[in-house]
C-alpha cells in the first residue's frame, strides 16, 4: 500500500445501478439513469471551473482539490441496463471484471457503484476473479438515493473516489459509512441503518474521519508484476444450504443432487451439525461422488473448529473447513476454485483450505500446505511453501526454476498452487527461460494453454535467443505449435537464419514430422540451405517420393503457414459509445 503519486489520478466509476441512483416511480424505487449528470451538478463531485480551464472532455468529471498539487478525475461508465442488485448474477459480475480488464491500462483505479443487497457477494466474487490485481477496486452504494435530502450516497461515493484516487490499495474493497473493508470479508447486517455492512473477522483496512487512518499491516502486498488475469470461468452450479434443527435427510439428499458441484453448508456454532446417521450418510455419499462441501458457521463472528464431536462428525463425512469465511466469500471461492482448469479433486480441496485472497484467517499453529504427494515436483512445491516468512527472498529465488520444472513435467496442479500464492509465473530461470519455454519444449499443451491465459509473453526469448515456438518445433509438438501460433507467436529472423539448412537436413532424413512442424510454425520451406539447394531439391535428388509429395503439398497450400497473431473477438458487454452492457451473452 502506498500513497498515490502524480498530479492527476484518473478513475473509472462503473455505475451498475442500485439504490444510490434510484428514483421513485409509482411509489417504489427503480434504477435511475443519468448519474453522471446528477454528479456534475454537485460541487462536491465536480469542479466545473477546473474542468473548463483544463479543457476536459464532457464525460470526465474532476473532484475539488483534496490535497495540494493532486486532482482526482473520473469517468462514469453507465451500464445498460441498470440493475437492482437483487437481479445480479455471476454473469454480470464477470462482465464488470471484463470492463475493468478492458480499461485497466487507462485508469489508476476503479469504483464500482452497486446495489447493497448483493454487494458483499459481488465484492467476494470480484476478489477471486481479478488475479494479479495491482490497482485499487472499491465497491460502494447507498441505503438512501443520492437525490434525497438526507442520504448516505454522497458520503459513500465521495469517500470511495478519494480513497481509490489517493491510495494504491491492490485489493477489491468495499467502502461504506466511512470504513474501507476487504471485499471478501464483509456481509450486510442492516436494511435501514447507514452502517449497513460489517467485517466480523477482520478490522477495516482504512477508516475515514478528520484524517484517513490506513491499517497498513492488513493491506495485501503485490507479489510479482504479472498482468491482470480475469477468471471468467466461474462455476455456476454451486449452492448454499443452511442447516436448521431437525432438517430431514431427505431434503438434504434432494439439494445435493447433480448438476450441483459444490455447496457451502451453513452450520451451527463452531461448525457443528446434526449427528443423525442418515443425514451424515447423505453428506458422505455426496462427497464420495465428487461434490465439494465447505463448512461455514452461520454465526456472524468466529470460525469453524474441531472442538466438538458434532463438528468432527461433519468433517468425517467429507466436509472442508471454511474457517472464518463469510458465506458470501465461501460461495465465491467455491465457484472460483471449481472453475479452475486442470486440477484434481484433492487439488481443489487443498486450495479451498488455503487463504487465497485474504478471505480467511488460518490458525497460527495450522501448517496447511498442499500435499501434492503425487509427484516429486509436488513435494518440492510443498517444501517451498513451508519456508518461513523470513525466507521470502529464498522462496522467490527458487520459484522460477521450480515453476519451469513443473511446466516441463506438465504438473498443472503445482503451477496452480504457485500462482494462487502470488508467484509470478512470467519470471525467468537461470537460463532466461519462462515456464512457457519449458512447457513448449516438453509438449505440454495443457500447461501452455494455462500460461497463455495468464498472459505470458508468447515471443519471449531466452538467453540463447530461443522462443517457445522454436522449442516446440524442435520437439515436433504440433499441438503446442498450433496454440502458440494462434496466440501470435512467430519465429524471429535469428531463428530462421539457418532454417534452410535444417530443412534440407530433415528432407535428407525423410523426417516428414519435422518438416511439417517447421511449416506449421511459419517457416518458408523453399528457403535454400548452405549449398543453395532447397529441401525439395534434396528430396528429389534422394528419390524420396513421400517427402517430395509432402513438400509440394505444403508449399502449394496455405495451411497453418498463413497463421499470424489472432485478434481477440470484441469483448462481450460493450455497447455503442463504450457503455457497459450487462446481462448480455457473447455472440
For the annotated binding site, the residues are 85, 116-117
| CA Rg value for the chain | 28
Q: How far apart are CA 103 and CA 74, in angstroms?
A: 13
Q: Which three-class secondary structure state does DSSP give residue 407?
A: helix
With contact defined as beta carbons under 8 Å apart, do 97 and 110 qualify? no
How many angstroms separate the CA atoms of 19 and 114, rounded?
8
Torsion of CA 414, 352, 338, 456, to 10 degrees: -40
Q: Which three cell numbers stand for residue 515?
A: 518438416
If one counts every other C-beta atom within 10 angstroms of the C-beta of residue 560, the result is: 17
Cβ neighbours of residue 458 under 8 Å, at least 6 residues apart? 436, 452, 468, 469, 484, 487, 488, 489
Active-site annotation, residues: 116
C-alpha distances in angstroms, 404 versus 337, 373, 437, 438, 556?
A: 23, 19, 8, 6, 38
Cβ(88)–Cβ(113) under 8 Å? no
Integer Cα distance of 309 and 270 in angstroms = 11
CB 262 within 8 Å of CB 238: yes
For residue 8, the SS3 value is strand
C-alpha 532, offset from chain centre: 52
CA quadruple 44, 50, 51, 56: dihedral, nearest 10 = -140
DSSP at 561: G
Amino acid at each position: 500500500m502506498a500513497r498515490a503519486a502524480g498530479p492527476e489520478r484518473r478513475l473509472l466509476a462503473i455505475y451498475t445501478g442500485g439504490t444510490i441512483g434510484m428514483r421513485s416511480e409509482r411509489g417504489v424505487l427503480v434504477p435511475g439513469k443519468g448519474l453522471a449528470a446528477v454528479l456534475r451538478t454537485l460541487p462536491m463531485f465536480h469542479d466545473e471551473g477546473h474542468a473548463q480551464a483544463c479543457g476536459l472532455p464532457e464525460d470526465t468529471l474532476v473532484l475539488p482539490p483534496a490535497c495540494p498539487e493532486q486532482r482526482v478525475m473520473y469517468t462514469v461508465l453507465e451500464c445498460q441496463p441498470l440493475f437492482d442488485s437483487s437481479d445480479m448474477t455471476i454473469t454480470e459480475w464477470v462482465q464488470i471484471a471484463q470492463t475493468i480488464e478492458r480499461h485497466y491500462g487507462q485508469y489508476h483505479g476503479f469504483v464500482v457503484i452497486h446495489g447493497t443487497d448483493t454487494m458483499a457477494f459481488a465484492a467476494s466474487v470480484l476478489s477471486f476473479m481479478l488475479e494479479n490485481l495491482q490497482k485499487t477496486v472499491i465497491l460502494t452504494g447507498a441505503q438512501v438515493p443520492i437525490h434525497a435530502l438526507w442520504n448516505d450516497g454522497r458520503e459513500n461515493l465521495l469517500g470511495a473516489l478519494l480513497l481509490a484516487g489517493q491510495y494504491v490499495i491492490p485489493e477489491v474493497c468495499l467502502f461504506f459509512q466511512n470504513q474501507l473493508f476487504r471485499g471478501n470479508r464483509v456481509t450486510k447486517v442492516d436494511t435501514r441503518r447507514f452502517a449497513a455492512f460489517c467485517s466480523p473477522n477482520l478490522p477495516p483496512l482504512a477508516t475515514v474521519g478528520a484524517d484517513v487512518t490506513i491499517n497498513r499491516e492488513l493491506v495485501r502486498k503485490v507479489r510479482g508484476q504479472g498482468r491482470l488475469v480475469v477468471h471468467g470461468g466461474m462455476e455456476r452450479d454451486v449452492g448454499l444450504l443452511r442447516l436448521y434443527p431437525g432438517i430431514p435427510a431427505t431434503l438434504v439428499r434432494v439439494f445435493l443432487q447433480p448438476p450441483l458441484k459444490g455447496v457451502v453448508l451453513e452450520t451451527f456454532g463452531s461448525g457443528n451439525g446434526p449427528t443423525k446417521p442418515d443425514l451424515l450418510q447423505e453428506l458422505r455419499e455426496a462427497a464420495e461422488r465428487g461434490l465439494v462441501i465447505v463448512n461455514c458457521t452461520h454465526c456472524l463472528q468466529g470460525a469453524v473448529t474441531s472442538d466438538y464431536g458434532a463438528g468432527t462428525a461433519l468433517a468425517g463425512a467429507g466436509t472442508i473447513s471454511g474457517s472464518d469465511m463469510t458465506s458470501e466469500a465461501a460461495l465465491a471461492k467455491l465457484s472460483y476454485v471449481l472453475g479452475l482448469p486442470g486440477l484434481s479433486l484433492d487439488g481443489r480441496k487443498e486450495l479451498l483450505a488455503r487463504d487465497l485472497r485474504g478471505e480467511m484467517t488460518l490458525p497460527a499453529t495450522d501448517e496447511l500446505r498442499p500435499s501434492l504427494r503425487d509427484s516429486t515436483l509436488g513435494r518440492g512445491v510443498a517444501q517451498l511453501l513451508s519456508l518461513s516468512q523470513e525466507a521470502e527472498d529464498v522462496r522467490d529465488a527458487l520459484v522460477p526454476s521450480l515453476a519451469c520444472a513443473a511446466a516441463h513435467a506438465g504438473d498443472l496442479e503445482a503451477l496452480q498452487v504457485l500462482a494462487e500464492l502470488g508467484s509470478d509465473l512470467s519470471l525467468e530461470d537461470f537460463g532466461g527461460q519462462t515456464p512457457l519455454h519449458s512447457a513448449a519444449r516438453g509438449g505440454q499443451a495443457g500447461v501452455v494453454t494455462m500460461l497463455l491465459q495468464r498472459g505470458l509473453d508468447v515471443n519471449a526469448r531466452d538467453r540463447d535467443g530461443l522462443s517457445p515456438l522454436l522449442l516446440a518445433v524442435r520437439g515436433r509438438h504440433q499441438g503446442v505449435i498450433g496454440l502458440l501460433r494462434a496466440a501470435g507467436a512467430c519465429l524471429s529472423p535469428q531463428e530462421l537464419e539457418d532454417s534452410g539448412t535444417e530443412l534440407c537436413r530433415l528432407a535428407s532424413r525423410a523426417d516428414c514430422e519435422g518438416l511439417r512442424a517447421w511449416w506449421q510454425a511459419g517457416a518458408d520451406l523453399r528457403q535454400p540451405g548452405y549449398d543453395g539447394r532447397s529441401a525439395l531439391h534434396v528430396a528429389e535428388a534422394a528419390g524420396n517420393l513421400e517427402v517430395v509429395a509432402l513438400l509440394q503439398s505444403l508449399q502449394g497450400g496455405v495451411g497453418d503457414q498463413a497463421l499470424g497473431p489472432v485478434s481477440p473477438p470484441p469483448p462481450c458487454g460493450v455497447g455503442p459509445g463504450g457503455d457497459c452492457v450487462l446481462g448480455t451473452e457473447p455472440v
